[in-house]
Amino acid sequence: MWKRIPEQIRHVVVPIVALVVIYLVVRHLLIPSSFGLWGHYRAASAVQNAELPLKYAGAEACADCHGEIASTKKEGYHRGVACETCHGAAYTHTQDQEKQKPQINRARSLCLLCHEYQSSRPTGFPQVVSDSHNPLKQCIACHQPHDPKPPHPPKGCDACHATIQRTIAVSSHGNLACSMCHEVPKNHKLSPRGNPAKLPQLRETCGKCHAQDSSASKEIPRVDMASHGGKYLCWECHYPHMPGAR
Amino acid sequence: MNHEIARLYETLKLVVGFIYPNEIELGWNLLIVVYPYITGLVAGAFILASLVKVFKVKEVQPTYRLALLTALSFLIVAPLPLVVHLTHPERGFEMFLTPSPSSAMAMFGFVYVWYLMAVLLLEIWFDYRKDFIVWAEQEKGYKRFVYKLLSLFTRDTSPGALSFDKKAVYAITVVGIPSAFLLHGYVGFIFGSVKANPWWSSVLMPIVFLFSAIVSGIALVLLIYMVAVLVRGEEPDMACIDKLASFLFYMMIVDFSLEFLDFVHRIYQSEESIHILGQLISERLFVSLIVIQLILGMILPLVAIALIKMFKWPAEIRRLSYFIVGLLVQFGIFSTRWNVVIGGQLFSKSFRGLTAYKMAVGGVEGLLVSLGFLILPFIILYVLIRWLPPWEKERAPSVPSR
Amino acid sequence: MKRDRPDKGLDKSRRDFCKTILLGTVSLAVPGSILAATEKKGLSDWYGTKYKPAEHLYAMGIKVDRCIGCGRCVDACKRENNVPDYPFYFRTWIERYIETEDGQTIVDSPNGGKDGFKAPASDKKVFKTFFVPKICNQCEKPPCVQVCPVGATYRTEDGVVLVDSQYCIGCRYCIQACPYGMRYIHPTKRVADKCTFCYHRTVKGLLPACVEVCPTQARIFGDLKSKASPVNQFMRFNKIFVLKPGLNTEPKVYYADIDLEVR
């Protein structure tokens, strides 16, 4: 039977079959043992990934020993800020409290990473312009970082609404007090999220100055409150902090 | 700070607009430009060889064996730039251990081995088998043994066996054409299937790759044939050369049409990425795409061959023109690969900016190594030609006496 | 480096792997199955037994309106995961978007936002501006896993895309395939690297480092398979969006209050 196959085929097939067999054997030997156990990968690799060493311990670990600070912090504005956000990775400290100390960075630059004024930051987030905000003092001289109440409530609104303050300053509404349009609850400055300021809910708020029968200065543009704007509140079309309509 | 990091800092200064921070480093560099260029030459040269066997184009018979050997020498080099560019080349064999069924790249090893072993080597073997036997008879010493080994110790040169060889060559070529299409179309698919990259992601990519491959392969064999004839001091077969140029011309027209279609399609569809791709062409790829790939590598050769076809110029001028056309086409197709591979990584997937490619000269990913990979196939080809003379007149004329 | 849970079995398997290569090439007579059987036992004394990946599905929510661009997440990520401290390698980063009144959108991310942001250089009038944190989307249909030729990157049952740094050959196809630019070649390990949702933390019940240190809770992390999970609440109370939904990657990082310009 074998001899009846043409000589060429016989001489070609033997080395090819040999190569295929060698390949199959070598492949069988070399495939990592845990490969394919849980999918098309080495199962051992998932375990290796799961067992990498920790650097950050997590706030719960800190509270185990530093309960007092944790409970102070829980009441203050920094309650959402993890210990390691400011003190750095501290897993080694949880393993060896004496030799491994977490960092205590008292520099202004650390606080300013969050609190330096940036127009891109969401409004309401407390910000300062460091060049004019007690430039020579450390932040912690006035603000206790675990309970960073300001020594006195901010005088203006710009401490948290700096972008709006900057916008309105160059607009024709620059001289108006915020409270002229916004109703601000008494405790807004102490607990802003619990006592949010309100947006004007009536067209008459703007009408005080812009209605045709208003007694305000003649230079202020007037509109016919009855026909202008329809069902919309004024600020739904005009941005009062930078009024664009002329 | 090491060299690589220093280069990235330099590149950082060249970034225009916004790119994702990890995009500064190009994952695929010059070596990956060389790789599809070389596989393209392999596929193209093989398709040319199959013209003789399957499509019975008698004129190009003189280039048949030369085209096969060219394909083989480039195919041997084809995987090298791939392996070398791996950050862990020593793990490259894993591609054969645990090829991922979902990966377009995993099949490369198998497609490559299939093409090398089942197509090219077998076809060459069946075509040369009788010659191996004859040469083994003629030679002495170690050469005799090498030829015997090459003939896999077959001895049958009866007319029946020889006609079996011929049939085998024909059958292998028939299988080989789709295999060559597969080899290079597949390389195109590796790029064309990346949906994250709008410059690559296109169904036309494999087909464009394939036809540009055929173009580059024909042009290469044309060049090698003309040089070989010159070196050997033979009379060039103008019918063959003209025929090769004709096929080059037709294939270039198909290639040009496909690329033009791709271009028009993109502009007409005008998807989200169109703006950044326009910026990519005007700010980063103008020379390599518009000047080299399109004008020098495509339009100029097309016009030249068209003129030659229209006016019957003397053979000398035709040969010179074909030679220049062949070279231009090589530069053009290399640029095509460059524009796909490098171009596809120069714009950010945020579609908001461009990075730059600073090519190294030394080092594994540098210019010198890539040049080496482009020269190496010619050295291999030289050795192959020495051992397996592809010239028709050296085919063993008759059955040797025992 | 001290291992948290030293697992001798793993080091052994690595040694055996090398040994196998040697044996395999030297002698083909060694039956591979015997070697394999010894390794499969004791893969881990807790992972896959006490911790069952199939019982979890991790996801992250990002409240764009809360991000203040402090970059603490980027810093913590680099420390926790030994990400090289150069401006080309990030597992997570912060982008700043500035949309100007003349309709342009300017985006930047100096050093990934790790050192915070300076006032924008442009003096164009700002229409609106905000920060956006970026992180691996841990896609349910990850293109990076699809293209990996050898199975060196994979999605675990708890929904995290990981890299096998001992198996990755460094072909960089995954880098090309990721639509979000989340992968890079680690310059010293020379393998693909990416965010793992801090897998070594989350499987132990800790938060990913970036979530842990985020001072405004802009990042929310949790288990979609647990009903009382912050991420489920986030999904319930916000209108959410994912990045590049048209690519059908099905991200597991969800954004609330995101802008059209974010890509």
Contacts with C, A 39-58, CB within 8 Å: 39-56, 58
C106: chain B residues, CB-CB within 8 Å: 18
Provide the pLDDT for residue B68: 95
Share of chain B above pLDDT 90, in %: 82
Distances (CA, A) of A112 to C88, C209, C239: 25, 21, 32
- Model confidence at B402: pLDDT above 60: no
Residue A15 sits at the chain B interface (C-beta within 8 Å): yes
- Model confidence at A162: pLDDT above 90: no
Residue C178: domain span:
143-193
A7: chain B residues, CB-CB within 8 Å: 154-156, 161
* CA-based nearest residue in chain C for residue A44: C43
CATH code for position C147? 3.30.70.20
- Model confidence at B32: pLDDT above 50: yes
Indicate the pLDDT class of residue C37, thresholds 50, 70 and 90: very low
Distance of CA C97 to the CA centre of its chain: 23
A36: chain B residues, CB-CB within 8 Å: 98
Residue A40 sits at the chain B interface (C-beta within 8 Å): yes
Residue C43 sits at the chain A interface (C-beta within 8 Å): yes
Residues A182-232 have pLDDT tens digits of 999 988 988 888 899 999 999 999 999 999 999 988 889 999 998 988 889
Residue C25 sits at the chain A interface (C-beta within 8 Å): yes
Describe chain B by its helix, strand, coil percentages, rounded to 5: 75, 0, 25
Can you spell out the DSSP letters for A104-136? Answer: ----HHHHHHHHB--TTSPTTS--B-TTTS-TT
Name the minimum distance, in Å, from the CA of C180 to any CA of chain B. 7
Share of chain A above pLDDT 70, in %: 99
B82: chain C residues, CB-CB within 8 Å: 171
Number of domains composing chain C: 1
- Model confidence at C255: pLDDT above 90: yes
User: Is residue C159 one of the residues assigned to a domain?
Assistant: yes
- Report the phi/psi class of residue B235: left, alpha or beta, with left for phi > 0 and alpha for psi in -120 to 50: beta
User: Is residue C177 one of the residues assigned to a domain?
Assistant: yes
The owner of tokens 């056309």 is B325
Can you spell out the DSSP letters for A51-95? Answer: TPPPS---HHHHHHH-HHHHHHHHHSGGGGS-HHHHH---HHHHH
For residue B124, give both structure tokens.
């060459």
Contacts with C, A 88-117, CB within 8 Å: 88-89, 112-114, 116
Sign of the dihedral through C-alpha A232, A237, A242, A246 = negative
Share of chain A above pLDDT 90, in %: 65
Name the minimum distance, in Å, from the CA of A57 to any CA of chain C. 8
* CA-based nearest residue in chain C for residue B273: C263
For residue B30, give both structure tokens.
């010059």
Q: Choose the weakest-confidence range: A53-57, B340-344, C47-51, C66-70.
A: C47-51
Sign of the dihedral through C-alpha C61, C64, C68, C72 = positive
A15: chain B residues, CB-CB within 8 Å: 152
Best residue in A22, A33, A171 to probe C by mutation, most C CBs within 10 Å? A33
Name the minimum distance, in Å, from the CA of C98 to any CA of chain A. 8
Contact C217 A33 (CB under 8 A): no
Q: What are the beta bridge partners of residue C130?
A: C97
Q: Which residues contact C154 (CB under 8 A, 6 or more apart)?
A: A39, A40, A41, A45, A46, C145, C148, C161, C162, C164
In terms of pLDDT, which residue wins out, C141 or C25? C141
A16: chain B residues, CB-CB within 8 Å: 117
Provide the pLDDT for residue C34: 40
Contact C4 A54 (CB under 8 A): yes
DSSP state of C59: E
Contact C176 B108 (CB under 8 A): no
- Model confidence at B356: pLDDT above 80: yes
Q: Are C166 and C14 in contact (CB under 8 A)?
A: yes
Neighboring chains of C (3 or more beta-carbon pairs < 8 A)? A, B
- Model confidence at C11: pLDDT above 50: no
C195: chain A residues, CB-CB within 8 Å: none
Best residue in A30, A31, A41 to probe C by mutation, most C CBs within 10 Å? A41
Asked if the ipTM is above 0.85, the reply is yes
Neighboring chains of B (3 or more beta-carbon pairs < 8 A)? A, C
B369 burial (CB, 10 Å; 0-12 / 13-18 / 19+) is buried
Residue C108 sits at the chain B interface (C-beta within 8 Å): yes
Name the minimum distance, in Å, from the CA of A23 to any CA of chain B. 9
Contact B96 A7 (CB under 8 A): no
Contact C209 A55 (CB under 8 A): yes
Residue C17 has a CB neighbour count (10 Å cut-off) of: 20
Residue B123 sits at the chain C interface (C-beta within 8 Å): no
Contact B348 C95 (CB under 8 A): no
AA identity, residue B391: W
Residue A170 has a CB neighbour count (10 Å cut-off) of: 10
For residue B168, give both structure tokens.
């085998």
Helix and strand element counts for chain C (H, E): 8, 11
Provide the pLDDT for residue C27: 41
Beta strands in C126-259 (DSSP E): 126-135, 153-155, 161-163, 184-185, 192-193, 219-223, 240-241, 253-256
C80: chain A residues, CB-CB within 8 Å: 54-56, 89
- Mean pLDDT (whole number) for B252-268: 95
Residue A7 sits at the chain B interface (C-beta within 8 Å): yes
User: Is residue C57 one of the residues assigned to a domain?
Assistant: no
Average pLDDT across chain A, whole number: 91
Contact B103 C169 (CB under 8 A): no
- Mean pLDDT (whole number) for C116-121: 88
Query: What H or E segment, with its residue span, contains residue C106?
Result: strand C105-108
Contacts with C, A 114-153, CB within 8 Å: 114, 116, 118-122, 125
Rounded to whole angstroms, how far apart are CA atoms C186 and C76? Answer: 17
Residues B139-154 have pLDDT tens digits of 889 999 999 999 999 9
Contact C181 B21 (CB under 8 A): yes
